[in-house]
Amino acid sequence: MTETTRENIVEIKNLTIHYETPEDIFEAVNNISLDIKKGSVLGLVGETGAGKTTIALSLMGLLPFPPTHIYSGELFFDGQDLLKLSEKELRSVRGNRIGMIFQDPMTALNPIMRVGDQVSEVIMLHNRVSKEEGKKMAVDMLQKVGIQPERYNDYPHQFSGGMKQRVIIAIALACRPELLIADEPTTALDVTIQAQVLDLMKGLQKELGTAMLLITHDFGVVADICDECAVIYAGEIVEKGSVEDIFDRSCHPYTIGLFESIPSLERDEKRLKPIQGLMSDPTSLPSHCSFYDRCPKRCDLCKEKDPTTIEVAAGHFVKCFLFDEEVKKM
């Protein structure tokens, strides 16, 4: 294993995932490669249906089978290929070394189980501790996320949406995982509570040294909490780099379009500039560039074949013919 490999907690290599039904094949994730460095935060940004949650669930070993079919690729976590583990081996990783904050705190908690017991259950499942020790550790973790010990015996319906999300974070971090997957953790919350939850996550991530995969639609969240960012479109990573690369030196027309559709306090604009059209149908993705129909900078070559990923600067990758020097020479 090389020095570069050792600094990565996650390495996804050429991953392709389909959802297969008797009627159709949905191409959810298409030959993506992605790394997450130890202790760093990677933001995964894209439209609904782009494949973000499918990638997260594949790391957790929670993809439903059927209809899911992992067509090809490798999923390395700390040098171990997760796709080669048995279900028993996966259970020792899931919740212990990899934690996940799910999208909707309203449905992620067991409604008939006390919140404190839901935290201690995870701790006792992965650690050889007594019930009393598990409860003490759960109380400590709940306090870390701002929930007082006297609320240990409360049920989920007694908490607000923001407090439920804090419980979810406590469960995800209960065993101090090496990787935390946060799947749109603030989508169901109002703006004020979003800011509180993000500050909490950022503080705990730094304190525990946990690497994080943050799935979001919001570039503001990426700017606030992430070290690197990957932009996904139709199941493909179209641009990846440091947050500075993506924000200050955006290259792919899709990434540029996303930024242009965000309201600005600096530009005097009367109307927003949305990306025209809809994302390609996952049941019939084209063999050429999947962004072709919506791209303002498309050329004839874009409809002939699929572009390769180009490193335009150190650590900054773009999947577009506009930056392919070999194509320019043709």
Decide if pLDDT at 145 tops 50: yes
- pLDDT tens per residue, range 272-303: 788 988 888 899 999 999 999 999 999 889 99
- pLDDT tens per residue, range 70-100: 999 999 999 999 999 999 999 999 989 999 9
Q: Provide the token pair at 215.
A: 């799935």
By percentage, how much of the chain surpasses pLDDT 90? 68
pLDDT for res 118: 95
Mean pLDDT of the chain: 90
For the chain, the domains span: 3-234
- pLDDT tens per residue, range 35-54: 999 999 999 999 888 999 99
- Which stretches within 127-218 are classed as H helix? 131-144, 161-173, 191-208
d(CA 158, CA 45): 33
CA distances from 265 to 29, 222, 262, 269 (A): 35, 18, 10, 9
Instruction: Report helix, strand or coil for 48.
Output: coil
By percentage, how much of the chain surpasses pLDDT 70? 96
CB within 8 Å of 71: residues ≥ 6 apart: 16, 17, 18
Task: Please report where in the chains the tokens 């297969």 appear, as a residue.
Answer: 20
pLDDT for res 65: 85
Q: What is the pTM of this model?
A: 0.90
What is the CATH code of the structural domain delimited by 3-234?
3.40.50.300
Q: Provide the token pair at 328.
A: 């320019």
